[in-house]
Structure 1
């Protein structure tokens, strides 16, 4: 009888031990799963960046408020200028000065001449109009009295002069000698006591 009881106790103890082991295994499995989940890398979404395949050109405001891309070069800007059927008197004076002073020079040389006339008209030291600056006595050798030279003009060179005059007037491209108020041909030496800025093509510029 005692043996049966002991055997029953042993069976119960074994059953309890087996049940306890099973619970430990289940608990251990849940713990491992939580830990594994915690350690699992979380996918994060990277911010999407624009793909740039070509250089971006900064947009600049145009005269009418619209955005326009700046020209890549002075030559491009000259090519973009409209050719008016008729020029205002002021623009005609400016274009004529550029033409007669620098028509055979580079576009930079022509712009430098044009910007001198614009700068003079705004300086307060010279007449306040382009025609006033051009017709001021003893300033420009191509002027004859109160009139501009007549005769035929080279069509391509005049077209460039008109375009450069518009650019000089609007200030849409900086002259290589921005701020200059005086210039003379490079083959003369007038001995001016002025601040020399630079030589551009066949002219020397001062302020």
Structure 2
């Protein structure tokens, strides 16, 4: 769906400090592999008779079994029956006030596609995310949005403030779905889009037409 896996993309990805050995952490820097079972070497006891019968195995307690099983499991990616369900399941806007990159992404969705269907809003979000990881555009969402001459709603390199209404809350939810890669986007790896009523003659391969926008790579 994306140019690079979306989980490793984003500058706003939260790193888990002091993670347990059995926790699934999202880290952009490779770490040395560790023994997930925490096995310790058993040293022989001095003076122990070599012919002594082995002691009976001690059954593992339920908690120990659960801990061992947990070390091999990761939290599954939530599955949704529809894009609408995925959007509805996202966090409330108030809980994400300090996430600047998400706000920039949602601002792009709001001003470029707020009247589009959810699939069209997701496609616009994915173009912005694709640009930020392509190496051909600035490397952060906010920088992609404010890049000169790219988005007409940007004035003087500054983003306008969206009204706190239902359309803004939906744009924030769509931005979360896109960033978490929770739903397949019809835009795929597109890097460009424009409204259907204009013909800029980009000379690029068409990826999809969604709502009122045509997407290219």
TM bucket normalised to smaller: 0.5 to 0.7
Q: How far did 1:99 drift?
A: 0.3
Say if 1:62 and 1:68, in contact at 8 Å, map to a contact too: no
SS in 2 for 1:168: helix
Further displaced range: 86-95 or 74-83: 86-95
Q: How far did 1:188 drift?
A: 0.3
Q: Deviations over 1:20-70 (max 9, x none)?
A: xxxxxxxxxxxxxxxxxxxxxxxxxxxxxxxxxxxxxxxxx9989324550
Aligned equivalents of 1:154, 1:129: Cα separation in 2: 24
1:190 maps to 2:195: no
Pick from 104, 125, 129 the counterpart of residue 93 of structure 1. Answer: 104
SS in 1 for 2:101: helix
Alignment map for 1:141-160 (pairs within 5 Å): 141-150=152-161, 153=163, 155-160=165-170
Any unmatched runs of 5+ in structure 2?
1-23, 27-72
Q: Deviations over 1:98-150 (max 9, x none)?
A: 00000011000000000000000000000000001000010000111121123
Pick from 147, 151, 167 the counterpart of residue 136 of structure 1. Answer: 147
1:175 maps to 2:165: no
SS in 2 for 1:176: coil
Q: Deviations over 1:182-205 (max 9, x none)?
A: 001111000111101221101110
- The one of the two structures with greater contact order (alpha-carbon pairs below 8 A, sep at least 6) is 2
Further displaced range: 64-73 or 187-196: 64-73
Q: How far did 1:177 drift?
A: 1.6
1:82 maps to 2:91: yes
Pick from 110, 128, 132 the counterpart of residue 121 of structure 1. Answer: 132
Q: How far did 1:158 drift?
A: 0.5
Alpha-carbon RMSD across the aligned residues, in angstroms, is 2.0
Q: 1:117 to 1:65 in 2, by over 3 A?
A: same
Any unmatched runs of 5+ in structure 1?
1-60
**Higher helix fraction (1 or 2):** 1
Aligned equivalents of 1:66, 1:197: Cα separation in 2: 32
Aligned equivalents of 1:144, 1:201: Cα separation in 2: 26
Whose radius of gyration is greater, 1 or 2? 1
Q: Give the number of equivalent residue pairs.
A: 146
